[in-house]
Structures are given as structure tokens and as C-alpha cells.
Amino acid sequence: MPGFLALLCVAVLVASCAQMPAPVRHIDHVVPPLPGTPPAGRLASLPPLPGEKPVPPAVPAAPPPPVAEPEEQATGDLLAHIERILGAAGDDTPREPMVLETVPSDTGPVTIYTVRRGDTLLGISRHLGVRSRELAEINGLVKPYLLLEGQQLTVPQAVTTPPQVAAADVSIPEPVTTAIPEPVMTAIPEPAPGGDLQFIWPVTGRVVSGFGPKAGGLHNDGINIAAPAGTPVRAAEDGVVSYVGNEIRGYGNLVLLRHTDGWVTAYAHNARNLVARGQMVLRGDVIASVGASGGISQPQSHFELRQGTTAVNPIEHLVEG
């Protein structure tokens, strides 16, 4: 009996040792998942970083529109200025007839004219029928050709039939006494006499755009003369400066001269305008310098010649200066 109990104890002990021990769970080592962590087996979709935006594919920039030459621009503004200029030309009231005097000199009798208030070199030239340049040179006048009230001008001998000649005592001339001379101030004087106008080239250079129709239904109302920047631009004929500015689209710095018999000349794309409105200029006087104003790429002078508001081909009227 005691042996049977011993065998039973041994069997129970062997059976208990053959079972696997239960796992021990350590609660303090269980780490919860982080917020936003996707479930296992699912790929996470990462949001874009702050401030980043999708970059669209590059689109090539459109080329800039071509810059139109002045002959491609509307001429309405220019014509409006010319109409005002020509309209103002008819506002001059008739002046009293000029009175000339004949006085002795070392070389013989000479004819003189005494300047009155409101006189201009161009106006006197018109009434005498002589060139303004000749009258200026014989009397030693220089730009801007201002005259003084009471100033005596020698009349060129070419004037054979003066408007009125006052008989003077040739042996004992009367001395001319005047108060302190005052500059003669006028608004827009009359141009020089007409009949033999000879327009000279304002700039020496190559014509890069001629007068007349262009591609696309455009029209050049003048000619474009290429010349180095800074080249002097000269008045094509005696005249009066009627416009100086750059308000007319496409022309840049512009000078308009009014001549006799309704002729008008235009000088555009200037680097600098060197005259003032109302100033009198003679043929060949420097009025501006060549530039590239008005939206062009190369220095040049745009020259127009108009009879009234009608543009004519300058080539048919220009002569070598």
C-alpha cells in the first residue's frame, strides 16, 4: 500500500511538469499607437508640407507685340495740331504799309527800315520780298533773331520797288532817337515770303522707309532717315516753330514748323528738341538732334512735308542744302 501511494505521487508530479506555463503580460510595457497612425497593412497618404503648392507645367511667354513705326500710327492727333496751326495763321490783322528811308553812306545811298512793335524778321522779309537769311546776314542778326523797337535794318539792294519810300534829306540825314529799346514780343509770327521755297534735307543719311503705302494697309506720311544718335536735325526752310513736344503718339519728341503758303514740316523721333514754340528759324538752323524716341529701336529722323494737312512725298521737293 505504501508503494502504491508513492507511485501515484510520482505520476501526478510528472503530469504537472509537462504543462506549459501561462504567459505573463506586463501591462506597463504596452504602448498605445500614435495618433493618426494608419492600421497595419494600409499605406499612409502623406499630406503636402505647409506652404507647398503644386507647380503647373511651364507655359512659354508670348512674344511682345511689334512696335509700330510712326507711319503705322493714326495721324489724327498730328492733323489736329496742323489744323490749329494753319487756323492760327489767318488770325494776323493787316499791318500798316512799311515805310522805308533812303540815307547816305560811305558806299552810297542805302535803304533802311525802322523796326516797329510787333515786327519780326520773317514778317519784314515777307513784305520786302527778300529771303530772311539775306536780311539777317546783312544786318548781323543771329538766333533767335530778336528785333528791338526802333532798331534800323539795312534793306538788301535787291529790293527795287519797296512798299513805300519816305523821301529823306540825303545830304543831312535826320538822326534816329529812340527810348530804351524793348524786345519785340509776338505770339506766332508770319512765315517768310513764298514763291521760291526750297526745302533742304533735314538730316544726311540713308532713307530706311520711304513715303507711301506699306504692308498691311499702312501708310508712311513721310520718310525715315537713319543717322547716328545726336546728329543735328536742321530746319528744311525758313519758318516759325508751331509745336514742340511729345504728346502725339508714335512720334516721340516732335517739332512742327509752319512755312509760308500753308506748308508745314514735321521732325520726329528727336533725342532732344532744341527750339521753343513761337521761335523763328531759318533754313539750315539746328532745331533738334537725332534720337530713337517714340518707340523705335534705331536712331533715325522721321520727316514729313505737308501742304496744309495733305502729306506729300518729301523726296520730290527736297534739295541739297
Digits of tens for pLDDT over the chain (321 positions)? 666 666 666 666 666 655 555 555 555 555 565 565 555 555 555 555 555 556 666 666 655 544 445 555 546 677 777 777 666 554 444 466 778 888 888 888 889 999 988 888 888 887 888 888 888 888 998 888 888 888 889 888 766 444 554 444 434 344 444 444 444 444 445 554 445 789 999 999 999 999 999 888 889 999 999 999 999 999 999 999 999 999 998 999 999 999 988 999 999 999 999 999 989 999 999 999 999 999 899 999 999 999 998 999 999 999 986
Sequence ranges of the domains in the chain: 100-166, 194-319
From the candidate CATH numbers 3.40.50.300, 2.70.70.10, 3.20.20.10, 3.40.50.1470, the one assigned to the domain spanning 194-319:
2.70.70.10
Please name the residue that has the C-alpha cell 505573463. 24
Q: Which fold has domain 100-166?
A: Membrane-bound Lytic Murein Transglycosylase D; Chain A (3.10.350)
The whole-angstrom separation of Cα 93 and Cα 314 is: 32
Paired residues of 78 in beta bridges: none
Task: Judge whether 100-166 and 194-319 match in fold.
Answer: no
Instruction: Give, for 185, the enclosing helix (H) or strand (E).
Output: none
pTM of the model: 0.60
Q: Do residues 176 and 150 lie in contact, with contact meaning Cβ atoms separated by under 8 Å? A: yes
Q: Do residues 261 and 269 lie in contact, with contact meaning Cβ atoms separated by under 8 Å? A: no
